[in-house]
Amino acid sequence: MQAVIVIILVTLITFTILHLLPGGAARAALGKEATQAQIDAFNQKMGFNLPIWEQYLRYVGRIFTGDLGHSFQLNQPVADAIGQRLPKTILLSLLSIIVAVVIAVPLGVVQAWRRNRVADYIITAATLLAYATPIFFMGLVLIILFSQVWPVLPAEAPQGFTLAEMFAEPKALILPVVTLSIVTIAAYTRYIRSSMVDNLNENYIRTA
């Protein structure tokens, strides 16, 4: 039931935002130079001249049938645009998770074994800072440091969407993967530390 309520709220908010665009969706799609006749024709074609409740029901109906609409900026169906970019998103997410696990596990182990000591305090402070820093700001800092101050990495991610295009320049993957993994590293490290400390406090461990 809660999931249904969340879905309804999300669709309502999205639908409302679309209708609050300056000049309406027609003006946003056709541009400022569009004539009133063109806007009227667009609204007629897209059903924007229907009652607001009917527009919402049609909007929700299209979503649940897989019709996400048309991107006028990309000039292609939204579903196709998502499909093109989904492999890139999945790859970056998987790589960031792998990096996070590889780094977080030893950090969490060190914290647990050296708990309440200098190493534990330093790692805790670093992970709290990483967790609290917005990811877009972290990405910007990394770009400035490693693409401007020390120009060793490209500032942009690979431009293509296929695996071959993305791995054509492996260095271009480093900054986006590291940026995405930082928050995950912080979360995993704290979880691993907590789990290991709990286990180390078990009677059978202390007895051994």
DSSP state of 70: E
- Secondary element (H or E) of residue 76: strand 76-77
Domain ranges in the chain are: 2-67, 81-207
What tens digit of pLDDT does each residue of 184-201 get? 999 999 898 888 887 766
- What tokens appear for 164 in the block? 């071959």
Tens digits of residue pLDDT in 63-106: 787 777 777 666 777 777 787 788 888 888 999 999 999 999 99
Query: Could you give the CA distance from residue 77 to residue 57 in angstroms, rounded to a whole number?
Result: 20
All residues at 6 or more sequence positions from 164 whose CB lies less than 8 Å from its CB, including other chains = none
Own/partner long-range contacts of 146-153 (Cβ < 8 Å, ≥24 apart): 146/175, 147/175
User: For the chain, how are helix, strand and coil distributed in percent, rounded to 5?
Assistant: 75, 0, 25
Q: Which residue has the higher pLDDT, 176 or 208?
A: 176
Q: What backbone torsions phi and psi does residue 158 show, to the nearest 5 degrees?
A: -55, 140
**DSSP conformation class of 134:** -
Given a contact cutoff of 8 angstroms between Cβ atoms, the answer to whether 124 and 133 are in contact is: no
* Tens of pLDDT, residues 2-32: 777 887 788 888 878 777 766 667 776 777 7
Joined together, the tokens standing for residue 34 give 């569009």
Q: What is the pTM of this model?
A: 0.69
Place of tokens 């645009």: 81
> Measured between alpha carbons, how far is 65 from 86 in angstroms, rounded to an integer?
19
Which of 143, 145, 174, 138 is closest to 158 using CA atoms? 174
* Angle formed at CA 57 by CA 63 and CA 60, multiple of 5 degrees: 15
